[in-house]
Amino acid sequence: MNIEKGDTIGIIALSGDCEREKVEKAVSNIEKLGYKVKLSGNVFDKNRYLAGSDEDKIKELEKFFLDKDIKLILTARGGYGAIRLINKIDYEIIKNNPKPFCGFSDVTALLLMIYKRTGIITYHSPMALSDFGCYEISDFTIKNFISTLTNSQQIFEGNKIYQKGSAEGILWGGNLSTLVSLCGQDFIPQKDFIFFTEDLNEPVYKIDKMFQQLLNIETFSKNCKGIVLGDFLDVDNEKWLEEYFYELATRMNIPVAGGFKITHSKDKITLPIGIKASLNGLKLNLN
């Protein structure tokens, strides 16, 4: 999917409520990059910690997919709220009007459910407020975002091997705590996949518990052929985390590599969910 200068990017609020100043800054920065911007009707709505009602979010999401002028949908921010929407969406509208849908963190729930229910590749990517809404936006993040959208053949490299080897499959994953909140849904691919993940502000025992939730699902354990680890920021014990990842790699007996720029930090890579990929040592190749 190519996005070109002059195309319209739709910014939509599907999780937490949005600060007007950051929305306006994101619009300004995106327009400076040469794109037009359309905002969802609920982007400034506030309902407790949410960007308005679930009903309004669904209406705006479906409207954005139906809008022929919008070439890419960029979520405004994470926080919480996406999981409230997953069983209310008309996925046929999305399937019949495919376009890139982008975000990370809480938006992981929508990235994975849209892929599962429609087969459309979604993008684990920067978001409007957290990335484009900064006064100093990351050139690395923006360049990789545009590059991955226009050329899916990318190579990313980590810096830590937990278990050597090679693996092939589709690329699939996202924010760990959001991803496990989907347990109970039909959300795991029925094909081989390379699992990527990241998180922040989670103690090691919870990271262990969340991986265990996934490992207890037969489809996950069977189809996961490799693991790509991003940042686990502000963890309580780095030593325990390293020990756990080595233990996980040995237990699963599959290639596991870490140190990829999959993160809540400023510099992040964009990963297409559902694209064919291979993991060879420290290198993640998107085909």
Task: List the CATH number of the domain containing 161.
Answer: 3.50.30.60
Question: Are 13 and 145 in a shared domain?
Answer: yes
Does any domain span residue 24? Answer: yes
Q: At what angle do helices 238-252 and 204-215 cross, to 10 degrees?
A: 20
pLDDT < 50 positions in the chain: none
Quote the tokens at residue 137.
Answer: 């936006």
Residue 96 CB contacts under 8 Å (≥ 6 apart), including other chains = none
Predicted TM-score of the model (pTM): 0.97
Question: Are 142 and 212 in a shared domain?
Answer: no
Does any domain span residue 83? Answer: yes
pLDDT of residue 262: 98
Question: Are 20 and 129 in a shared domain?
Answer: yes
Does any domain span residue 188? Answer: yes
Question: Are 159 and 216 in a shared domain?
Answer: yes
Last residue of one domain, picked from the residues 150, 181, 212: 150
- The CATH code of the domain that includes 90 is 3.40.50.10740
Last residue of one domain, picked from the residues 150, 183, 202: 150
pLDDT of residue 1: 59
Q: In degrees, to the nearest 5, what angle opens at C-alpha 71 toward C-alphas 68 and 75?
A: 115
Residue 138 CB contacts under 8 Å (≥ 6 apart), including other chains = 131, 266, 267, 268
Give me the torsion for CA of 22, 134, 137, 36, rounded to 10°. 10
Last residue of one domain, picked from the residues 150, 168, 186: 150
Could you tell me the strand order of the sheet in which 155-157 lies?
155-157, 283-286, 276-280, 166-175, 193-200, 224-233, 256-258, 160-163
The count of domains in the chain is 2
